[in-house]
Amino acid sequence: MFRGSRLPSKEGTDAASGSREFFAFKAARFLGGAARQVGASIARLAAPQSVEALCSDTETKASGSSDVLAKGAVEWAPLLAAADDTPRYESSEGTALTFRAAFLSGRALEFALANASQEASGESTFVSKSGLSPAVWMSFLKGATFPGGDDIAARIPELLALTRSFPDCRMCVEGAVSIIKADVRHEQLRSARALAGTRAEEIRSELNSSKGLRQAPESARLSSAEAVKHYSLVRQGLFDASANLGSLLTTRKNCLEGARSTLQELAVSARVRLDVASARRAELQQRHLEATDAPRRAAEELERNDARRETDISVQTLEAERRRLQMELEQAAQELAARRDERLTLLRRRDEAVAAHRSGAESVERQLQELRPRQFFQLVSKRGDNMTEGEIVASLIRTADAAQDAAKSARECAQASAARRDAELANQAATIERQELATRREHIRYELKRLDATGAAMASAIQVLLDAVRVRDTRAAMGVLDEDDEFAVSLWADVQRLRAIVLAAEDTWEEILQQWGASEQSSTVEPTDIAALEASHAYIAECLEQLKQTDIALFDLVMGGDEASSSSHHTEHIDGAAGPQLPNGWTAHADGEGRLYYHNAVTNLTQWEIPLEDAALDAGWKLYSTDDGQVYYHNPNDGASLWWPELPTYPATPAAA
């Protein structure tokens, strides 16, 4: 961060130790969080899957589109047919279930059959439309139903499609789905029984293989007791399965009986409706026959009448003759239309010839009119038709004389009006000139006050600076030194303040020269005002000369150069020939209206007031000097340091808690 020699650190070893402890604490927190995340992931992987989540997933796929249902059937068929009795899913009650038991606990089978019925139309089925293999579909149905129920389940979509418009029959079909569906409890008992039997056979095999070996009697007894326990579990599972099947048989038989009675009632109701509809149809047919009997007989009699047939033949002959005459009439109409077009063409040519003749006659008439005196002299009045050429010329001469008299009168009136307007404009110009002169005098008095205030501030600042220098020299002569160099910072602030006042004086004097420096502009100013301005300007120059003679180094520091260049710089700035010099890190800019504003390169902020201290000091940095007189910036918040005049890139803000 530093340039050149190494700067002294304010925090020392304490800051370095604090940084190491901070980073160690951050690393410990990061490792602890990572360990907790890994532990949660392992626990999540080790925990069994939820039955509810599986049911939700299968039901969503079963009720989805035909492609989604087909993919689900391909996925479920091998899992339902697999001989896997390991419970991998856990219900909300804490019961562990196999995949088949978890699948049967939901309504995926019902949703799949209902969804398949939506695709069934005519001879096409869900399997043929979705492109699913029939073997896969039958394997899925076989795994989700009781033995022998897959054939019935395969017909369910067709029955649901047929009963789509009959809610009562559809309810019976949906009840049949619940009857042929495999039971969850039966599947749980079967898987528990299979696991117990497998474990008992493993223990028996271990006992048989250890007969030739020397084994502790107690261990053999415990193994045998465990095998007997598992066989007992198998036997108890068989009893429970038998009882469960008996209960299911009774329940589902009752459901079948209820469905059968409902269907019988529906059949009776349908037969009654069919009989009523047949009787109604026969009655309507009889009425139709009675209503159409008389017209039918009349038509038959007309067909058997010879005179009627002759009349029909005559009508047909007349119709043919009418069509022939119609065609001849159309041909005659076409010929008449062609002749009419020819006649219209001749009439159009005649009209064009008449128009050309009329145009020629009008042209000759216009030429004759131009030869008359009224037309030749371009008279407007119709009386010219009865006037001779001499009378017309005399009248024109009289008219020209009257026009000249009128023009002369109008010119005299315009000259008088212009003279009055010139007098009014002259009075307005004199009034504006007096107002401008008063405004200029008021502005120059304002500039004089501004310059006097700047001179007073400069004299005060120079006196303060000289007093500070005398105190510094006195303290140095006495051997008193300030370790924090606060006096140097205060002295530097006084220098910056005096430099800002000098810049303000330069701006003021430059504006005065721009306004009243020219000879034509200075003539409008009172000599007393000019003398006051020059006296104030001389006072400022005298103050600067006093500072230069008292302490030439301090004068150079204030003016920003060596002795020769600072003297010329002072003269140029007071005379208004050069721009202002700002503290370190500040730049001046002008807005669209020409007003100056100042930009801080450290905080990236702007202000209208003239800055009095460095941009870094305004941003919170501190200014110190080393034993050999080198000046540097220091950040009291993060301990950073930087040699002057290089600027820091960020403000010194307190660190967040």
**pLDDT tens, 65-89?**
888 888 888 888 888 887 777 788 8
CA 294, CA 273: separation in Å to the nearest integer?
Answer: 33
Whether 139 contacts 125, CB under 8 Å:
no
Helix (H, G, I), strand (E, B) or coil at 607: strand
For residue range 344-396, list pLDDT tens digits in order: 999 999 999 999 988 888 888 777 666 555 555 566 566 666 666 677 777 77
Quickly list H helices, 181-305.
Answer: 184-209, 217-304
Compute the 3-state secondary structure of the chain and give helix, strand, coil in percent, each to the nearest 5: 75, 5, 20
Instruction: Report residue 108: phi and psi, to 5°.
Output: -65, -40
Please give the Cα distance from 459 to 546 (Å, whole number): 10
Please count the other Cβ atoms lying within 10 Å of the Cβ belonging to residue 230.
21
Selected from 1.20.1050, 1.20.1410, 3.40.50, 1.10.8, the CATH number assigned to the domain covering 384-581 reads: 1.20.1050
Nearest alpha carbon to residue 612 among 459, 461, 451: 461
DSSP character at residue 181? B
> CA dist 194 to 224, 241, 460, Å?
19, 12, 108
The pair of three-digit structure tokens given for residue 162, joined into one six-digit string: 């047929």
Contacts of residue 648, defined as CB under 8 A and 6 or more positions apart, other chains included, come to: 602, 616, 619, 621, 633, 635, 640, 642
**Whole-number Å distance between alpha carbons of 142 and 109:** 11
Contact between 104 and 187 under an 8 Å Cβ cutoff? The reply is yes
CA distance 580 to 503: 5
Are 556 and 566 in contact by the 8 Å Cβ rule? The answer is: yes
Residues in the chain where the model's pLDDT stays below 50: 1-13, 43-46, 481, 483-485, 519, 561-580, 656-657
Per-residue confidence (pLDDT) for residue 374, from 0 to 100: 56
pLDDT of 371 reads: 58
Q: Which helix (H) or strand (E) holds 156?
A: helix 150-162
- According to DSSP, residue 213 is labeled S
Q: Where are the domains of the chain?
A: 49-210+219-271, 305-371, 384-581
pLDDT of residue 16: 53
Tokens of 33: 């969080």
CA nearest to 252, candidates 369, 146, 150? 146
Nearest CA to 476 among 365, 629, 333? Answer: 629
Does the CA dihedral 147-152-157-163 come out positive or negative? negative
* pLDDT for 571: 32
- CA-CA distance, 570 to 558, in Å (whole number)? 10
Task: Encode pLDDT of 614-634 as tens digits.
Answer: 889 888 998 888 877 788 889
Q: What is the pLDDT of residue 599?
A: 93
C-alpha–C-alpha distance, residues 218 and 220, integer Å: 5
Order of strands across the sheet that contains 89-90 = 49-50, 89-90, 96-97
CA dist., res. 243 & res. 237, Å (int): 10
